[in-house]
């Protein structure tokens, strides 16, 4: 018997259930990335990196931010981000997963209560597991359930600080959180509000500042703007009160013990923030809106589905194997469509997650529909 046998059996079981994951290279028209505004190949961002290299900005940070890894480019980006998003302070981290892990494992204290949406990102779940606070998960987008959980906890003698935790735009369902209702609940209960703007940054709000842009600057708001989606680059910006940002610098293990992001990537994020602002950013968002409308006409209407709420269009087929088979048909036809299965999504909700980006034209959307629809009969897709 080999020490590796348990792993081999586990992999075989996943394969038998149609849930084995494999790395697939990028190919075909982009209907799977989070590069919503097509900025990953933006010439202006590339030029900013080239200019930084020419003036001697290093590729690597060389250490953690608390050692020698803290570069002027990191600090300049954080000042820019705080001003752009309207927060007192900002902290640049390697990615959104690390940022959520850092926030939720560090800031909620013993005696606090974390109330989180059940469909919050895996990074939020992992951060909550490492927290010393009590945690409750509530039904998706049910604002009243957040309120009820806090009231019940107070009635049981809870005396700490409640945390209201949600995404503003959910990555697998493409639906929006009741941001204003959650903000009102947080205000009424003296709670801290953590909103992950990962899939909204760049795409929604004035100049792409996010769905909670009108709340920025509030003492109780902590927002997370990941940079590898609508901004097309890499990293994550945590924005909020200086006291919270400084606590992360002093206490958050994913920040303290990680090598700092490349100073060149800080330059890239800075350039991306400039690209999503003003008339140029508005034009990108208008073009993306046209792609969403095209998907509504060519994909949703023929299937009897409502128009997509956002640039994320889930087609829920239910069965794992069938979902992956239809995704493969699309891939062979030249469209990069991916299937998503449990445990990423709840059991019985395997889906094609269509991501609408500026990397695919309206003509591409029509062509995808011609390939996709014959393999999905009307009323077979969950709304």
**pLDDT, tens digit, 9 for 90 and up, residues 99-144:** 999 999 999 999 999 999 999 999 999 999 999 999 999 999 999 9
> Which of the residues 34, 95, 220, 262 is marked catalytic?
34
> Which of the residues 35, 167, 197, 364 is marked catalytic?
167
Structurally, how many domains does the chain consist of? 2
Asked if 179 and 211 count as a contact pair (C-beta separation under 8 A), the reply is yes
- Same-domain check for residues 172 and 187: yes
The answer to whether residue 261 is domain-embedded is yes
The answer to whether residue 83 is domain-embedded is yes
- Same-domain check for residues 244 and 335: no
- Same-domain check for residues 258 and 358: no
Active site residue 22: no
> Which of the residues 73, 105, 121, 298 is marked catalytic?
121
- Same-domain check for residues 146 and 289: no
- Same-domain check for residues 371 and 310: yes
Active site residue 328: no
Active site residue 199: yes
**pLDDT, tens digit, 9 for 90 and up, residues 275-333:** 999 999 999 999 999 999 999 999 999 999 999 999 999 999 998 889 999 999 999 99
Separation CA 349–CA 354 (nearest Å): 15
Active site residue 140: no
> Which of the residues 196, 234, 320, 364 is marked catalytic?
196
The answer to whether residue 383 is domain-embedded is no
Asked if 352 and 314 count as a contact pair (C-beta separation under 8 A), the reply is yes
The residue among 276, 294, 312 that closes a domain is 276
- Same-domain check for residues 198 and 247: yes
Name the pTM for this structure. Answer: 0.94
Beta strand 350-355 pairing with 312-318: antiparallel
Range of the domain at 83: 44-276
The answer to whether residue 219 is domain-embedded is yes
Helices (H), the chain: 5-16, 43-54, 72-85, 96-106, 122-130, 143-155, 179-188, 242-251, 253-256, 263-276, 278-295, 301-303, 320-332, 362-372
Q: What is the CATH number for 190?
A: 3.40.640.10
Tell me what pLDDT residue 378 has: 56
1: confidence class by pLDDT, cuts 50, 70, 90: confident
> Which of the residues 30, 229, 320, 359 is marked catalytic?
229
- The per-residue pLDDT of the chain, averaged, comes to 95
- Same-domain check for residues 48 and 147: yes
- Same-domain check for residues 90 and 121: yes
Active site residue 167: yes
Tell me what pLDDT residue 26 has: 85
- Same-domain check for residues 71 and 148: yes
- Same-domain check for residues 291 and 251: no
- Same-domain check for residues 56 and 30: no
Q: Return the CA Rg of the chain.
A: 21
> Which of the residues 171, 223, 270, 350 is marked catalytic?
171
Which phi and psi (to 5°) does residue 297 adopt? -70, -45
- Same-domain check for residues 226 and 269: yes
336: confidence class by pLDDT, cuts 50, 70, 90: very high
Active site residue 196: yes
**pLDDT, tens digit, 9 for 90 and up, residues 26-83:** 889 999 999 999 999 999 999 999 999 999 999 999 999 999 999 999 999 999 999 9
């Amino acid at each position: 018997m080999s020490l590796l046998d348990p792993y081999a059996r586990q992999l075989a079981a996943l394969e038998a259930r149609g849930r084995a994951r494999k790395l697939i290279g990028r190919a075909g028209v982009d209907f799977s990335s989070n590069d919503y505004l097509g900025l990953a190949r933006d010439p202006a961002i590339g030029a900013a990196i080239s200019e930084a290299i020419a003036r001697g900005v290093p590729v690597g940070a060389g250490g953690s931010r608390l050692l020698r890894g803290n570069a002027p480019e990191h600090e300049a980006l954080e000042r820019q981000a705080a001003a752009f998003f309207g927060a007192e302070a900002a902290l640049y981290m390697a990615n959104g997963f690390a940022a959520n892990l850092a926030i939720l494992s560090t800031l909620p204290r013993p005696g606090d209560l974390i109330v989180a949406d059940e469909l919050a990102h895996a990074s939020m779940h992992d951060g909550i597991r490492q927290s010393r606070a009590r945690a409750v998960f509530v039904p998706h987008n049910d604002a009243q359930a957040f309120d009820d959980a806090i009231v019940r906890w107070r009635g049981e003698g809870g005396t700490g600080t409640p945390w209201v935790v949600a995404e503003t735009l959910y990555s697998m369902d493409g639906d929006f959180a009741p941001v204003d209702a959650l903000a009102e609940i947080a205000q009424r209960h003296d709670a801290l509000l953590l909103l992950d703007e990962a899939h909204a940054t760049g795409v929604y709000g004035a100049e792409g500042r996010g769905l909670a842009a009108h709340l920025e600057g509030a003492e109780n708001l902590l927002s997370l703007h990941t940079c590898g989606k609508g901004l097309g680059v890499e990293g994550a910006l945590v924005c909020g009160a200086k006291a919270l940002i400084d606590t992360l610098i002093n206490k958050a293990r994913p920040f303290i013990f990680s090598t700092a992001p490349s100073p060149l990537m800080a330059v890239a994020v800075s350039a991306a923030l400039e690209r999503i602002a003003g008339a140029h950013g508005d034009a990108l968002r208008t073009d993306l809106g046209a792609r969403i409308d095209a998907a509504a006409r060519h994909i949703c209407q023929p299937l009897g589905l409502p128009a997509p709420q956002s640039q994320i269009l889930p087609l829920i087929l239910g069965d794992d194997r069938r979902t992956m088979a239809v995704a493969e048909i699309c891939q062979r036809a030249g469209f990069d469509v991916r299937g998503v299965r449990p445990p990423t999504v709840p059991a019985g909700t395997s889906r094609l997650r269509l991501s609408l980006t500026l990397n695919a034209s309206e003509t591409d959307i029509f062509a995808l529909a011609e390939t996709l629809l014959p393999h999905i009969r009307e009323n077979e897709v969950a709304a």
